[in-house]
Amino acid sequence: MTEYRELSEVNKIAEELIPKMGWLDLPRIKFLVLIADRSSYLGKCSKATGKWRHLTNVDYVIEVWDNYWATATDNQKRALLLHELLHITSREKDDGTIVWGIRKHDVEEFLRVVEQYGAWSLPLEELLKAHIEYESSKQEI
Ligand SMILES: [Zn+2]
């Protein structure tokens, strides 16, 4: 059985992250917690389009999976919500209207390729560099 509920903790963390997203305007985002025994994702960002956008007055729905959220650390919760918020893009058209979109991941790869060939592509090199910077920033604190 699949159900959804709202959780103030999700909204609270998102409210802290949203001002730093750099969007051209504020999209209308609804945050939901997915209650299900299984989920193929920890979090998901969906763009509401057409009739659903019109009927709901929502631009995006961000879901987090309850089973993951319940055991996640604060760091993991923030990382998951930042991940989902980064799927949201905004750009300005020539007439000044803002177009909202969905951004794909910076990196998509199989573990087996990395195990055999390391960070062989530019996105993977950048991912590795970002991880090294993160690890060294943790040590400075
Ligand atoms: Zn994603």
Average pLDDT over residues 91-95: 96
- Distance (angstroms) between ligand 1 centre and the Cα of 47 equals 13
- Distance (angstroms) between ligand 1 centre and the Cα of 62 equals 11
- Residues 7, 63 within the same domain: yes
Backbone φ, ψ for residue 34 (5° rounding): -85, 120
- Residues 50, 65 within the same domain: yes
- Residues 54, 75 within the same domain: yes
- Residues 60, 127 within the same domain: no
- Residues 80, 137 within the same domain: no
- Residues 77, 119 within the same domain: no
3-state secondary structure of 135: helix
Helix axes 8-17, 74-86, angle to 10 degrees: 60
Number of structural domains in the chain: 2
37: buried, middle or exposed (CB in 10 Å: 19+, 13-18, 0-12)? Answer: exposed
Instruction: Compute the residue count for the chain.
Output: 141
- Distance (angstroms) between ligand 1 centre and the Cα of 44 equals 7
Average pLDDT over residues 9-38: 97
Asked if the model's pLDDT at residue 80 lies above 70, the reply is: yes
Q: Round to whole Å and give the CA distance between 124 and 105.
A: 12
Query: Using one digit for the tens of pLDDT, what is the confidence trace for 101-119?
Result: 999 999 999 999 999 999 9
Q: Round to whole Å and give the CA distance between 140 and 10.
A: 29
Range of the domain at 43: 3-104
Sign of the CA dihedral with 6 first, then 105, 15, and 18 last: negative
- Distance (angstroms) between ligand 1 centre and the Cα of 95 equals 30
pLDDT of residue 139: 83
- Residues 95, 115 within the same domain: no
Average pLDDT over residues 77-92: 98
- Distance (angstroms) between ligand 1 centre and the Cα of 102 equals 10
- Residues 30, 96 within the same domain: yes
Task: Identify the band that residue 141 occupies on the pLDDT scale cut at 50, 70 and 90.
Answer: low
- Residues 10, 65 within the same domain: yes
